[in-house]
Amino acid sequence: MLWSLPPAGGGPATVTATARMDYVRPLRRSNGMMISVRDLRKQFGSTTAVDGLSFEVQRGEVVGFLGPNGAGKTTTIRVLTCFHPASSGDVRVAGFDVRTQPLEVRKNIGYLPENVPLYPDLRVEEYLRYRAALKGVPRKQRQSNVERAMERAGVLDVRNKLVGHVSRGYRQRTGLADAMVANPPILILDEPTSGLDPNQRRRIKALVKELAQEHTILFSSHILAEVQDVSSRILVIHRGRMRADGTADQLVAQSTERALMVEAHAPAAALQQALVALPFLRGATAEDVGDGIARLRAQVDPLGDPRDATMAALAQRGIVVRELRLDMPTLEEFFYRVTEGADRAEEGVA
Amino acid sequence: MKGAMVTLQKELMSYFYSPVSYLIAVLFYLWRGFEVFGAVQMFSSFKLDQDLFPSACYGLTSTFFMVLLVPGVLTMRCFAEERRSGSIEMLMTAPVRDVEVVLGKWLAAVAFYSLLWMPTVVLLWALSLPPFLGTDLAFGPVVSAYVGMFLLSSMLLAFGCFASSLTDNLLLAAISAILFNLGLLKLPDLLRQELGESAKGYYMEQLLSKLDVMGNFAQWWARGLVDTSQIWFYAGGTMFFLFLTTLSFSARRVA
């Protein structure tokens, strides 16, 4: 099942990004389309890692690339960064073809690989100066770019430490500083928060939000809360295929799995009888939970708010309500439904 | 070629940060010092021809150490380490051409290897002072011997880079390079013995004589003779292995 929605038009990130675009390296031939992937396929031997993936990322967007482990996120990202060639399909980054213009593509991206492989024998600042030079930052600007990247990534206090000796969080941030040191218009971050503690994760999230003001960002993750917080749009991929594309709210709203929970001072049978006639409740089941209290759960149609009508029906029968709650679906449920849930449904059909 | 220069700088820095480099240097200088001292004593006690001194130095075991073992050990890290740690992903997604990366890494190896030889110049100068040999060493053979060593090591280091680009195992890279160097040192003699008469043909003779690198040192370079066909042989070999290295490095993108 494919949940296809129009891309979110003009979130806050888009507005600020255009306002400060002068900071970013000038682009050619991109027409505001920073990443465009059409029918991308990537095979490793007999295994298909990416199977006909298509999506686009507009200038200024922050796109969360979501999927379970092994969904094909890293493979897609490696095709975008010209590390792996695509088996087939048309992939353009900043208007350049990854197949025929890989150098131009690489000039326009800052990339943070998943495990942040850095050179352990260099000092943090040394490493960043080397990377800035390698990425073609002119000698005069190099030091200021490195200073700025270190400051933004928060690695100034470890600048003289060996990369091999700093903690995982600092390594991750050194990798981020590396990604932004040449001020590329596009940042591609592969699981930027994996392996970090909650505080470090929060800092990285804040940094990504800040970077979103000047860069187009594609970042992958399997932590939903993170993606929901940071990104203006979410792509969900599973088994190498696109499963959903839209803002977090849009995706959640699409989900039909809303549930109503009622707890009342009445026998289970009476509670069920009181509500069974309501047309918008489906599959209502009540059970006694002791102390003369019964609990009822029912599925609710996606549209409208069922709470007032339910309350009225209960009041009519003189049932004293202890709690009435509408459980909103979460992105997590949606994620489960379009990934593993979808697999189970398919297997069930087959 | 800016990418090559940046890579060269970084790699040179890594050589100076690596304890292996210092271990090689200490081992080589100690060994060399004792051996050269022994050679000087022999030359002065038997009043041998000073012009033969450089070629005698090429016969020293420490020279074989530098030709046989050091190139492989210096270059084993070049690509194998990048693959092992995954930093090759950072390198290959940076806006530099593959050939620039290969050239930079090889140049750094050549520069560091040449630096390792430099103190032996001082050794030779000190030897020309009165308490030792007491006369000036012939300038020509010394220079041509260093040029020859530079050319040969360029090719061996290029092969070392190639061996390193084939694997993510440092030991395997080093051993492959050492085996190649050993082959160069031993193969010509073995082939001559095995082939017997058939090795006497013109092309075979030419090939075997070019491959016999240490023999060439004794006969040509260390005696102040420069053979241009040997220059071409080493330069061609270097380019060939650098080409293979670039191919092997770029092939990572296909996998």
Per-residue confidence (pLDDT) for residue A195, from 0 to 100: 77
Mean pLDDT score of chain A: 83
Q: Tell me the three state secondary structure of residue A137.
A: coil
Residue pLDDT, tens place only, A5-21: 444 433 333 333 333 33
Final residue of a structural domain among A202, A224, A253: A253
Half-sphere exposure of B38 (CA within 13 A, CB side): 12
* Rounded distance between C-alpha atoms, residue A222 and residue A242, angstroms: 15
Could you give the 3-state DSSP secondary structure of residue B242?
A: helix
Same domain? A21 vs A99: yes
Determine the distance in angstroms separating the CA of A246 from the nearest CA of chain B, rounded to an integer.
Answer: 29
Question: Tokens standing for B246?
Answer: 């670039």
Residues of A in contact with B7 (CB under 8 A): 134
ipTM, two decimals, is: 0.86
pLDDT score for A3: 46
**Partners of A90 in the beta sheet?**
A38
What does the pLDDT read at residue A343? 74
Q: Output the pLDDT for position A349.
A: 54
- In chain A, which among 48-87 make CB contacts under 8 A with chain B? 78, 81-85
**What is the per-residue pLDDT for B180?**
93
Is the minimum CB–CB distance between A164 and chain B shorter than 8 Å?
Answer: no
Statement: residue A339 has pLDDT above 90: no
| Chain B residues with CB-CB distance to A85 below 8 A | 253-254
Asked whether the beta carbons of residue B3 and residue A178 sit closer than 8 angstroms, the reply is no
Tell me the one-letter amino acid at B208. L
Tell which residue, B162, B189, B167, B191, has the closest CA to residue B177: B162
**A29 domain-assigned:** yes
Q: Which of A87, A134, A174, A189 to mutate to test the interface with B (most CBs of B within 10 A)?
A: A134
Helix (H, G, I), strand (E, B) or coil at A218: strand
Choose among A204, A207, A117, A198: nearest CA to A163: A117
pTM of the predicted structure, to 2 decimals = 0.82
Strand order in the sheet with A96-97: A47-58, A33-44, A88-93, A96-97
Residue A295's SS3 state is strand
* Chain A residues touching residue B3 (CB < 8 angstroms): 134, 136
What residues pair up with A246 in beta bridges, in sequence order? A234
Q: Which residues of A touch B96 (CB under 8 A)?
A: 134
Please tell me whether residue A269 adopts helix, strand or coil conformation.
helix
Same domain, A322 and A285: yes
Domain limits for position A316: 258-328
Tell whether A343 is covered by a domain: no
Q: What is the CATH number of the domain that holds A71?
A: 3.40.50.300
Q: How far is B73 from chain A (nearest CA, A)?
A: 18
Residue A90: strand, helix, or coil = strand
pLDDT of residue B132: 63
**Distance between CA atoms of residues B6 and A336, nearest Å:** 47
pLDDT bracket for residue A307 (50, 70, 90): confident
Q: Which token pair is A191?
A: 């699981």
Same domain, A226 and A324: no
For residue B227, what are the domain limits?
2-253
**Residue of chain B with shortest Cα separation from A107:** B95
Chain A contact present for B14, CB below 8 A? yes
* Residue A23 maps to a domain: yes
pLDDT in the model for residue A326: 82
- Under an 8 A CB cutoff, do A82 and B253 touch? yes
**What pLDDT score does B226 carry?**
82
Q: Cβ-count burial of A346 within 10 angstroms (0-12 exposed, 13-18 middle, 19+ buried)?
A: exposed
Contacts of B32 (CB under 8 A, 6+ apart): B60, B62, B120, B123
Mean pLDDT, 10 residues at a time, chain B of 255 residues: 92 92 93 85 76 72 89 94 92 93 97 92 76 67 86 95 95 95 84 75 78 77 80 93 95 71
- Summarised one tens digit per residue, pLDDT across range A31-40 is 678 999 999 9
User: Do A248 and A194 have their domain in common?
Assistant: yes
Q: Which residue of A has its CA nearest to B250?
A: A83
Render pLDDT for A242-293 as a digit per residue (tens, 0 to 9): 888 888 777 777 765 678 888 888 888 888 888 887 888 877 888 888 888 8
Which of A253, A280, A296 is the last residue in one of the domains? A253
A202 and A318 co-located in one domain: no
Does A121 fall in a domain?
A: no
Backbone angles phi and psi of A181, in degrees to 5: -65, -30
Chain A contact present for B13, CB below 8 A: yes
The tally of CA atoms less than 13 A away on the side-chain side of residue A115 is 8
Residue A25 pLDDT exceeds 50 = no
- Residue A167 tokens read as 């903690």
- Closest by Cα among A223, A128, A115, A206 to A168: A115
pLDDT computed for residue A12 by the predictor: 36
Angstrom distances, CA of residue A208 to CA of A61, A152, A192? 12, 10, 9
Most confident of A312-326, A335-349, B123-137: A312-326
- Is B90 close to A118, i.e. CB distance below 8 A? yes
Q: Is B1 on the interface with A (CB under 8 A)?
A: no
Contact assessment for residue B177 and residue B76, using Cβ atoms and an 8 Å cutoff: yes
As for how many domains chain B has, the answer is 1
Strands (DSSP E) found in chain A: 3-4, 33-44, 47-58, 62-66, 88-93, 96-97, 109-112, 186-190, 216-221, 233-238, 241-246, 258-265, 281-290, 293-300, 320-327
Q: Is there a contact between A136 and B7 if contact means CB atoms under 8 Å apart?
A: no
CATH number of the structural domain spanning residue A324 = 3.30.70.1710
Can you give the pLDDT at residue B253? 75
The DSSP symbol for A8 reads: P
Residues A215 and A280 in one domain: no
pLDDT tens by residue, A116-169: 889 999 999 999 999 999 999 999 999 999 999 999 988 999 999 999 999 988
How wide is the angle at C-alpha B117 spanned by C-alphas B112 and B120, nearest 5°? Answer: 150
Task: Kindly report the nearest CA distance between residue B253 and chain A, in angstroms.
Answer: 5
Tell me, yes or no, whether A145 lies in a domain: no
The number of domains in chain A is: 2
